[in-house]
Amino acid sequence: MRVAVIGVGAIAKVLLPAIIESECTIEGVMSRSGDSARRVARRYGIPRVYDSLQDIDTDAAFVLTGTESHARVALPLLERGIPVFLEKPMAMTLRDAERLTATADRKGVLLMVGFNRRYAPVYEALKSAWRHDIPDVIIAEKNRPDIDYRGTLDNAIHIVDMMRWICGEAIEVTASSQYSDPYHETSCVAHLRFAHSIGVMVANRSCGQWAEHIETYGAGKTVRVEAPESFAVIERNQTRTTSLLPASDGLVTPQTRLGFRQEVEDFLRVIQSGGEVRSPARDAMETHRLMHRILQAAGLPDMNDERPAANSSVSGGSGQRS
């Protein structure tokens, strides 16, 4: 299988090793200026650097560019019938995300969204622990000490997707946020009510270190994930803990612990053999709609907002809306 990689920035540095080691051949790479693509091509022995999307004629494409360019890059590929792996979020706006989903449906071509946590072993274990029940309570936190542009949308969307994956669709959303600039928020906390669960999502950017964990309660048990390496089930006086520790022999890699390698393999498998990926665009669209509701409720720029950071109005204080 011949694939193209468009975008060679931060996420590509994580995914490229998994793509290279999978059952495919990278025919070419592309970047905005072309310079970084040429460096990557030399490093990995990739034979071609594309000058234009029209030059791409492969069996599949990995679109790993910045979120603001996702629709602009992926839409013409989908129109030509090329299956696309698209990094999350699908787009900065719901309108563009819906256009991508509708185009994939109309052309009958696979569009997969890179929600790699669905493939991470600790989260697979969490999903399995609730295969017969739904938790009464889910608490999900994703914190990192970097204040990025629209960080809740860009990064906390991972645990919002996990909450949906475990509990189903949210029927009520309330949220609060803290910021000096609403496009560079420091905190967002949401309260979600599902059909059979209630949940709290916490995303903070003023913390001391990266942390990601989910706790779930119900049916006489506590199930806890400390991503990416620890999973525990607590029932009465018994605790069963499984740890995925870093392996010096390379058997457990960062790409494997967080599911990057597995999502690449699933994408390629479905193209070759058929079936369904775990994060098809149609399902991922619902995570984006829920993210939009959380941002609206928190008083943050939502997924109808198309203004770039440089044009955003800056105001102090915090936002809160039900």
Per-residue pLDDT tens digits for 5-34: 999 999 999 999 999 999 999 999 999 989
Of the candidate ranges 186-195, 198-207, 259-268, 311-320, the one whose mean pLDDT is the lowest: 311-320
Q: What is the 3-state secondary structure (H, E, C) of 208-252?
A: CCCEEEEEEEECCEEEEEECCCEEEEEECCEEEEEECCCCCCCCC
Amino acid sitting at position 74: A
Q: Comparing C-alpha atoms, which of 49, 50, 43 is closest to residue 13?
A: 43
Q: Give 310's pLDDT tier (boundaries 50, 70, 90).
A: low
User: Is the Cβ–Cβ distance between 128 and 107 less than 8 Å?
Assistant: no
**Delimiting residues of CATH 3.40.50.720 domain(s) in the chain:** 2-116
β-bridge mates for residue 175, sequence order: 190, 321
Q: What is the pLDDT of residues 150-185, one digit of tens each?
A: 999 999 999 999 999 999 999 999 999 999 999 999
* Angle between helical axes of 94-107 and 70-79 (0-180°, round to 10): 10
Question: Which one is the CATH code of 117-268+279-321: 3.30.360.10, 3.40.1260.10, 3.40.50.1100, 3.40.50.300?
Answer: 3.30.360.10
Of the given ranges (74-83, 86-95, 221-230, 299-308), which has the lowest mean pLDDT?
299-308
Q: Where in the chain is the domain with CATH 3.30.360.10?
A: 117-268+279-321
* Strand, coil or helix: 122: helix
**What pLDDT is stored for residue 317 in this prediction?**
38
> Binning pLDDT at 50, 70 and 90, where does residue 313 land?
very low
Q: Provide φ and ψ at 313, rounded to 5°.
A: -80, 140
272 or 243, higher pLDDT: 272
- Average pLDDT of the chain is 92
Topology of domain 2-116 in CATH is: Rossmann fold (3.40.50)
Per-residue pLDDT reduced to its tens digit, 36-45 = 999 999 999 9
Buried b (16+ CB within 10 A) or exposed e, 94-125: bebbbbbbebbeeeebbbbbbbbbbbbbbbbb
